[in-house]
């Protein structure tokens, strides 16, 4: 690395008999490379002083000002390097892809066992009007598997914290979060932690709780979920092959069921097992009334994972919500019925002036 030299000039001439002060000023005039300790001092200390014998002599104002300018520029350079490094780290961690340059941002988030390619029918079209941010949750798609922390991702909040980081780093202007299935709840938790982050939510097939509880109909009994998780634990690939087509639905489009099966099978089994447990045992019903951000709930009329009763319940609980029920068999309408989903999204965004 090239050394940085600093020449200090313009100091007043020494007074007669003031030999120690003269020597100090001579030293200050002499150019020399700045060492690492010098740079550290420039960053950490607001003023720089030189010592002679037992006294401390402050550098002349012109020198102090020059040092201050260098200090500020060095700090700014370090901050820029840290920012760039953080952006690169996040991009690699979540396999972030940004397309479009609109004034507002849409973040598309995939559900369990999937990746960002599940939004391929939406991203190109919306990138013509918005800045589109696509990403993979850690553990899914082409994310950095070495970033997977079993403790952090043992709750949905771990994923929500990632979403907040991505929104801050890659979002521009108003940011809208479009989450499929469990990602809708992840987006809500992110919003509740830092309410000013999102301008709106689009929840596609969301569920705050999958287990029936009194008057609440989540679609499954606790025994159902325990059996599902047990089967998944014992034979993940067999579970994926049987469950994926049922989750996809779309009987007239069997290729979509095969696509979801392949996506499930590409996911690391151990990570998938933990994410399934975190997803299907989650219960965030108590948080729904706290969400004040404008929210669109897109509910399919025939969904094995999230029945209509769930969408209606969420609509009653979320104060600023709109419920759009579309004709679709299955849990992934953004693949099997993209037209109605896009129409509901567009109406929601246009109503908000976006």
3-state SS, one letter per residue, for 159-194: HHHHHHHHHHHHCCCCEEEEEECHHHHHHHHHHHHC
> Model's pTM, two decimal places?
0.76
pLDDT-derived band at 96, boundaries 50, 70, 90:
very high
The rounded distance, in Å, linking the Cα atoms of 252 and 157 is 37
Over pLDDT 70: what percentage of the chain?
Answer: 76
Closest CA to 122 of 329, 298, 280: 298
Structure tokens at 42: 């420039």
Mean pLDDT across 86-108:
92
Contact assessment for residue 22 and residue 28, using Cβ atoms and an 8 Å cutoff: no
**Could you give the domains of the chain?**
20-87 (no CATH), 96-351 (3.40.50.1820)
Torsion of CA 312, 316, 317, 320, to 10 degrees: 110
Mean pLDDT across 131-139:
97
**Better-scored residue on pLDDT, 38 or 94:** 94
The overall average pLDDT reported for the chain is 84
The SS3 call for residue 344 is helix
- The residue to which tokens 């007669």 are assigned: 16
The rounded distance, in Å, linking the Cα atoms of 354 and 351 is 7
- The residue to which tokens 């190109």 are assigned: 124
Mean pLDDT across 51-77:
60
pLDDT at 285: 98
Quickly count: other Cβ atoms within 10 Å of residue 282's Cβ: 19
Q: How do residues 306-326 score in pLDDT, each as one tens digit?
A: 999 999 999 999 999 999 999
- Min mean pLDDT across 6-20, 207-221, 230-244, 300-314 is at 6-20
Closest CA to 326 of 297, 347, 294, 348: 297
- Min mean pLDDT across 66-80, 104-118, 254-268, 281-295 is at 66-80
Is the pLDDT score of 1 beyond 60? no
pLDDT-derived band at 2, boundaries 50, 70, 90:
very low
Residues designated catalytic:
181, 303, 331
The SS3 call for residue 354 is coil
Structure tokens at 201: 């939510």
Mutual orientation of helices 236-248 and 254-266 as an angle, nearest 10°? 150
Contact assessment for residue 127 and residue 109, using Cβ atoms and an 8 Å cutoff: no
Q: How do residues 257-312 score in pLDDT, each as one tens digit?
A: 999 999 999 999 999 999 999 999 999 999 999 999 999 999 999 999 999 999 99
**Better-scored residue on pLDDT, 322 or 35:** 322
């Amino acid at each position: 690395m090239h050394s940085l030299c600093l020449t200090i000039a313009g100091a007043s001439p020494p007074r007669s008999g003031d030999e120690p002060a003269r020597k100090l000023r001579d030293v200050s005039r002499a150019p020399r490379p700045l060492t690492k300790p010098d740079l550290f001092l420039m960053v950490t200390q607001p003023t720089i002083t030189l010592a002679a014998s037992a006294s401390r002599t402050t550098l002349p104002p012109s020198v102090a000002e020059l040092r201050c300018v260098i200090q500020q520029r060095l700090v700014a350079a370090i901050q820029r390097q840290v920012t760039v490094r953080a952006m690169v780290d996040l991009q690699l961690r979540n396999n972030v892809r940004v397309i479009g340059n609109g004034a507002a941002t849409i973040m598309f988030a995939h559900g369990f066992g999937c990746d960002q390619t599940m939004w391929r029918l939406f991203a190109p079209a919306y990138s013509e009007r918005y800045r589109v941010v696509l990403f993979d949750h850690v553990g899914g798609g082409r994310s950095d598997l070495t970033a997977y922390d079993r403790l952090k991702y043992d709750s949905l909040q771990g994923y929500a914290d990632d979403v907040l980081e991505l929104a801050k780093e890659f979002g521009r202007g108003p940011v809208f979060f479009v989450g499929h299935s469990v990602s809708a709840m992840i987006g809500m938790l992110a919003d509740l932690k830092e309410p000013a982050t999102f301008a709106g939510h689009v929840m596609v097939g969301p569920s705050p709780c999958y287990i029936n509880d009194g008057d609440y109909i989540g679609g499954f009994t606790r025994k159902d979920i325990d059996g599902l998780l047990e089967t998944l634990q014992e034979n993940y690939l067999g579970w994926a092959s049987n469950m994926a087509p049922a989750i996809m639905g779309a009987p007239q489009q069997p290729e979509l069921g095969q696509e979801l099966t392949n996506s499930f099978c590409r996911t690391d089994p151990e990570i998938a097992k933990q994410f399934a447990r975190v997803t299907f045992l989650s219960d965030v019903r108590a948080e729904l009334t706290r969400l004040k951000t404008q929210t669109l709930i897109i509910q399919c009329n025939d969904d094995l994972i999230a029945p209509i009763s769930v969408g209606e319940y969420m609509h009653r609980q979320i104060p600023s919500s709109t419920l759009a029920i579309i004709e679709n068999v299955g849990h992934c309408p953004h693949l099997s019925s993209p037209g109605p989903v896009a129409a509901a999204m567009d109406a929601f965004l246009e109503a908000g002036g976006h």
